[in-house]
Chain A
Amino acid sequence: MNSTGTWSRFNITAVTLGFAFLYLPIVLLVVFSFNASKLVTVWGGFSTKWYVSLFHNQGLMDAAWVTIRVGLISATAATVLGTLGALALTRYTRFRGRMLFSGMIFAPLVMPDVITGLSLLLLFVAVGFDRGFYTVTLAHITFTMCFVAVVVQSRLVTFDRSLEEAAMDLGAPPVKTFFQITLPVIAPAIVSGWMLAFTLSLDDLVVASFTSGPGATTLPMKIYSQVRLGVTPEINAACTILIALVATGVLIASVANKRREVQRLRDEQAAQRG
C-alpha cells in the first residue's frame, strides 16, 4: 500500500496495542530483574544483586559457554550447508529427487521441536554417537540450515543472473564467477542467515534437551530446569542479559543497514543530479 496519506486512528491504535502486547511482558521481566525483593512480583526497591549472584552461579556460566560454542559452530556450518541448499534449489531446477529435497528444506521450518528432537536422538543412539556437545551441534546444524537456506534462497531468486553471465562473458570460468561475483553480492543475505541460525541455536530448548548428554547442558536447558522450580529474580537477570545481547546485536545490524541504505539513496540522488 503506497499511500502516504493519513494514518487513521484505528490503524494507530491497532499498531500501538499490538506492540504493547508484544513488549510489555519483556519490559516487566527486565524491570523485575532489578527487584531487591526475592518475590518476583512484589517491588522491593532497586537492586543489582541478582546480577552479581548470577555471575557466581557456576552452573549457569558453564551452560552459557556451552550454548555460545554450540551456536558459533552450528551457525557457521548451517550457513555453509544452507547456502549450498539455496543454490541447489534456485539454480538447478531439474535433478533427481528435487521434490524430496525442497520438502526436506521447508519441512523443518514448521516441524514441531519434539519430533525433530526425538528423531535425531534416536538416530544418534542407532549409529552409536555418544550424546553430548557434538550431537547438540549436529542437531542444531540440521534444523537451522533450513532457515539459512530460505533466507539465502529469497535473495537468490531476485539475483540478476546477467551479472554472472557478464563475468563469464568477460572471461571468468564458472567457479571463479561464483566466488568473485555471486558470493560477494549475496553476502548480506548470508550474514543474516548466519545471525538467524545463531539465535535459533541460542534459543533452542527442546531439540537440545533430546540430543544433549552429560556435560553439555545448554543455557535454555538450565533456565528451564530452574523455571520449573519457580520464578526467581536471578532467572529474570539471566533473561535480561540475553535479551540485551540479542537486542543490541539486532539493533546494531539494522542501524548499520539503515545507514548504508540512506547513504546509497543519497548517492543515487546525487548521481541523478549529475
Chain B
Amino acid sequence: MANAALSSRDADAVAQSLPERLAGAVFSRLVIIVPYLWLLFFFLVPFLIVFKISLSTTAIAMPPYTPVLDFADGLAGFVAQAKELSFDNYVWLTQDPLYYTAYLTSVMVAAVSTVLTLLVGYPIAYGMARAPAALRPTLLMLVILPFWTSFLIRVYAWIGILKPEGLLNQALMGVGIIDSPLIIINTYTAVFIGIVYSYLPFMVLPLYSSLEKMDNSLIEAAQDLGCPPITAFWKITFPLSIPGIVAGCLLVFIPAVGEFVIPDLLGGSQTLMIGKTLWTEFFSNRDWPVSSAVAVILLLILIVPIVIFQNAQARAQEAGR
C-alpha cells in the first residue's frame, strides 16, 4: 500500500491516517498511565493514609481512630478535625521501651542474619559458579525451587526440627553429643536459622550471577602474574563480586527488618521484633494509630537501604542495555 500511495503522489494517503495516529498515541499513553495510576492509588496513597492515621488517636468505633478526617461537616469540619491530629503516637513510641527496643533488636537481628546468610551463601554461589557448565542450570533451578514453595511452609518445617523433642535434638542425643535437649526454638538462634534458611536463595542468586559472568582468565592472569589462589580470590574474585554482595545483602536485610512470620513462629514470645510488634498492636490491641506510627518509623529506618537498592537496580538496568 505504501508503494502505491507514494507513486500516486497523494499526500493525504501517505501521511498517517488520523485514527491510526490516535491509536498509537493512546496506546503509548496507556502503557505508562495504567500501571502508574494503579501504583499511585494502591502503593503511594496508602502510605499517605498510614501517615495520616498515625497522627490520630484510637477510638472505639469503626474505623477505630479519630479524627476520621472527612468532609461530612464541610470544609470547616475538616479543618476542625485536622487540628486534632498530633504527633502523640510518635512521642509514645519514644517513651515506651518496648518499641525502641523492638526497632533496635530488629535492625540488629536483620544485620546479623544478613552477615550469616552471606557467609553461608557465598561458598554455595562460588561452588555453583565453578561447577561444570552443563550442571549449572540444574543447580540454579535447585536454588530457585525452594523459593517457589511457600515461605510459611518452610518456616513451619523448622519448628519440627528445632523443638526440644524435635528431630535435631533427637539426632544429637541419639549420637550422644548432648545429654539434655538444646533449647533453640523460641530463641534468637531459631530466628537467625529461620532467616538464613528462608532468605538464602535471595543471597545466592545475585552472588551467583555476578560470579558466573566473571571471566576465568582474570584468575588465570592473576596466577600467571604470581598470585597464589587464595590471594587471587581476595584481590580479584571478591572485589568483582561486590555488586552481587550488595544486592544480596539488601534483598535479605530490608525484608528481614520487618519480618513477621519467622520471629512469630520460631522466636515465640521470647523475641521482640518490630514486625511482630506491629502485628500485635494491630490485630490484638486494635490500635490502628499506633501501628501506623510503628509502620512509618519502620519505613523511615528502611528508606536509606531501599533507595540504595533502587539505585543499584536502575544501574543494573542501564548496564543491561
- Chain A residues engaging chain B, CB cutoff 8 angstroms: 1-4, 7-8, 10-15, 17-19, 21-23, 25-26, 28-29, 32, 40-41, 81-82, 84-85, 87-92, 95, 97, 100-115, 118-120, 122-123, 125-126, 138-139, 141-142, 145, 149-150, 153-154, 157-158, 171, 173-175, 178, 199, 202-203, 205-206, 209-210, 220, 223-224, 227-228, 231, 235-236, 239, 242-243, 246-247, 249-250, 254, 258
Residues of chain B within 8 A (CB-CB) of A97 are: 36
| B148 partner, pick from A41, A100, A145, A250, beta carbons under 8 A | A250
Q: Are A119 and B279 in contact (CB under 8 A)?
A: no
Please report the number of residue pairs spanning A and B whose Cβ atoms sit closer than 8 angstroms. Answer: 281
Q: Which B residue's beta carbon lies closest to that of A88?
A: B32
Please tell me which stretch of B71-79, B83-91, B94-102, B251-259 contacts chain A, meaning at least 4 of its Cβ atoms lie within 8 angstroms of it: B251-259
Q: Are A84 and B130 in contact (CB under 8 A)?
A: no
Residues of chain B within 8 A (CB-CB) of A227 are: 152, 156, 159, 265
Q: Which has the most chain B C-beta neighbours within 10 Å: A112, A199, A243?
A: A112
- Chain B residues engaging chain A, CB cutoff 8 angstroms: 1-2, 16, 20, 23-24, 27-28, 30-32, 34-36, 38-47, 49-50, 53, 63, 120-121, 123-124, 126-133, 137, 139, 141-146, 148-154, 156-161, 163, 165-167, 170, 197, 200-201, 204, 211-212, 214-216, 219, 250-251, 254-255, 257-261, 265, 275, 278-279, 282-283, 288, 291-292, 295, 298-299, 302, 305-306, 309-310, 313-314, 317, 320-321
Q: Are B309 and A142 in contact (CB under 8 A)?
A: no
Q: Are B157 and A25 in contact (CB under 8 A)?
A: yes
Q: Are B39 and A243 in contact (CB under 8 A)?
A: no
CA distance A242 to B146 in the complex (A): 12
CA distance A120 to B1 in the complex (A): 52
| B166 partner, pick from A15, A41, A106, beta carbons under 8 A | A41
Q: Shortest distance in angstroms between A17's beta carbon and chain B's nearest beta carbon?
A: 8
CA distance A8 to B20 in the complex (A): 61
Q: Shortest distance in angstroms between A211's beta carbon and chain B's nearest beta carbon?
A: 11
Q: Which A residue's beta carbon lies closest to that of B122?
A: A14
Residues of chain A within 8 A (CB-CB) of B120 are: 18, 21
CA distance A8 to B215 in the complex (A): 18
Known contacts A84-B31, A113-B260, A157-B321; A119/B148 CB under 8 A: no
Q: Are B35 and A102 in contact (CB under 8 A)?
A: no
Q: Shortest distance in angstroms between B261's beta carbon and chain A's nearest beta carbon?
A: 6
Q: Are B320 and A14 in contact (CB under 8 A)?
A: no
CA distance A2 to B32 in the complex (A): 40
CA distance A199 to B30 in the complex (A): 27
